[in-house]
A and B are shown apart, each in its own frame.
Chain A
Amino acid sequence: MSRIDTSAPPEANPSVRRGPRRPQGPWGFVLDSVRMAWRWLTRMKTALIILAILGLETLLATVVPQQPNVPITVADWRSGAAGPGQVVSQVIDLFGGYDVYGSPLFLALLLLLFTSLTACLIPRTRAFWRAARRGRPPVSRNLDRQQHVATFTSALDVDTAHDRARTTLRRQRYRLRPPDADDLGDGQVAAEKGIISREGGSLLFHLSFYVLLVGIVLGQLLGFNGQVGVVEGQGFTDTPQAYWTNNPGRWWGADDHSGFQLSLDQFNIDWVREVRFAGTPSLFEADVTVTERDGSVRSDTISPNVPMVVDGEKIHLLDWGYAPHVVIRDGGEVVFDGTNTARLNSQGFYRTAIKAPGADPDIGLAVGLYPWAPPGDDGQPIITGAPWDDAPVLLVGTYRGDLKLDQVQDVTRLDTTGLDLVDLAYVRLGSEVELGDGITVEFPELQKWVGLQVSDRPTVPLLLLGAALLLAGLVPALYAYRRRVWVRAVTDEHGDTIVTVAGRAFQRSEAFLAGWGGLVESLRVALDGDDPVGDGGDPAAPGATPNDVFDPVAEPDRDDHDRDTTKVTT
């Protein structure tokens, strides 16, 4: 696209802008490498490759369990208790496969993707800006060789015909080439439409990724979420220490907590009991009372889709379980009296562990709770998988020895490596059972607990804005299409005015073709024309299929708007 004519004298050529002076030596090498890397990054193929690798990583994350989601499964995979075995597990770890989204590789890819995005958006935005500000559609030297051509004679003189064509096209929101910019001197009308919405939409779409990125990163830094379990009749206070697990952003301070106090009055749960669908929850909600820091008290019901909002913090109901009250006596002396939360496990019962370090040596109970285990004919409980607590029974494995409480432990599991099994027995609600070694276990009461999540996500509105921009950009980016229309009126040898209308679509030729007849007709009416001669079809290929990608020149002249289009053929 160089405009330099080598056979002409030097002064006939426009002056060539020289690039900035190149440094020599090692700096030159570094600079060249950076320039090359940048150029590589601006290529769409590069973006495609990065996207593909990102996709592969994501695929990995659907197949391999992820630490933040299911830490226990990951531990099982690592230890070889589940999954493909320890060797494979080590390979997965090598690639950060258990925490793909936190792995350096993923972050690096994201960084690369955004760099690539930036690298390709800067020139595009600049070109778009130029085109939007002062882009003008080029004239066509040979209208007859455009994609679509129609001809008719008009009763008007040439200038009036051109004027009316201008008005008509302007009314259809075409952008016109200013008449004085005409360098061919035949007064033809050149018009263009769709470039702003298509390219602008695409830019908006890609730019929305930055809004989303900022929203996500700021949300991580400024937000908070914590999880806590609360037994019926008990409560917690919104302080960092109260949460079982919490995840404050780096810019979240302890004094950002609103400090409310919540108590769980009652937890209501019920299930479908019809045999076919037994176990699907039909009722699931928690009645709570919240006392805010300023002393105001309010009662509310939290259900899975209806969180409670206190001072900008959302409280969600996420989890629940039974909480058996258990009393352990060792030689008649109470060594444990408390309510532990038990969680449903994959085998269909609720599990917890009770640790009584006060006994000597330590006593540990591995407890399985079966909520509906009615006694059979022999008096032994019949274990069912049903979740309702019509006949609860605890299966208690009693251990003595060293609980190893100085090590990090799972609250619902007993580390039995330092313990010896004493006895295994069922304990029904309301009863007390004597186990060996002078230990008795009493099960006076069964309560429920709920798992609540408290979260503060200040950037959600920003993210919504980003999502809205994404969609708002995507639709025109895919649907708007750029097209040019030329109208030229000439006087023939009989003194009649012959009007030629030519059109060309850069994308979605089929949509343009569909509107072509109407466009020609509107011009013909405005110009007092007779019936058009051209049928508006594609002159070159009668059987050809409209296709928006056919066009070999659909893209390259993005910032070359004044180029002569006579080379454009189909």
Chain B
Amino acid sequence: MAVTALATPARPRLFAGPLVPRLVAGLAVAAAWEEAVKLFMPDYVATPIGILAAFPHVIVSAPFLAALAQTMAAVAEGVLIAVVLGTVLGLVIGRSLLAERALLYYVNAFYAMPILVMLPLFSLWFGYTSAARLATIVFSAIFSIILNVADGARSMPKDYLETARSFRSGRFRELFEVVLPAAMPYFLAGLRLASGRALIGAVVAEFFTAIGGLGYFILFNSRTFHHNEAFVAVLFLAGFGVGADALVTWGTRRCLPWYRRDEKAE
């Protein structure tokens, strides 16, 4: 089942196009937001000016930096685990019909499952600790990598393998030196999905278990009526999504220049 291979159209470039209408619209939305809060909402509610005012002192404050470091370290660790395990499983599922028939159903079911329902179970199994967060991140990230790598390994041109075979390449080397590089664009598309999902996994785990990190930073500040401060962290989360996307696109262009990712990604 090709969850990942459904054709999505080319992504438009983010900042191509006219600047003036964008600036005007942005300012208009910000002004409307500012006024609406002043008129209808209590004064602790976040406003654009409040967020701008809070931004400089929040991003250098110790609690924020600690939270940022904790969440980013956990996401990096979780994604790394998911990449290693997910690539191996994806290669096996993509190249072995038996493995595909036995395991693909599980992978698809877990991929479709909302991560949130696993939170209570992870907190039961790992306690209210950073291990529960790590488990949530790995669980969020791994299945899109498995599915994409399996997709890439399956749709590899036959000629590659035949060439490798004629040079008497062994099974193991074949998998890691022929199939894996051929599946690379798919892997990168999977990684892009996985990094976004991993960040959401980290935030919801922090909401659920109240362990330190950006998610908890948002929760704590919004509960203590520091909405402007909390919103700075939301901006970082949004920026992470856009940034991870740009990073993977750049990586694809840089390392796989022959591949036009618009055709297959996602």
| B is bound to A | no
Residues on B facing A (Cβ under 8 Å): none
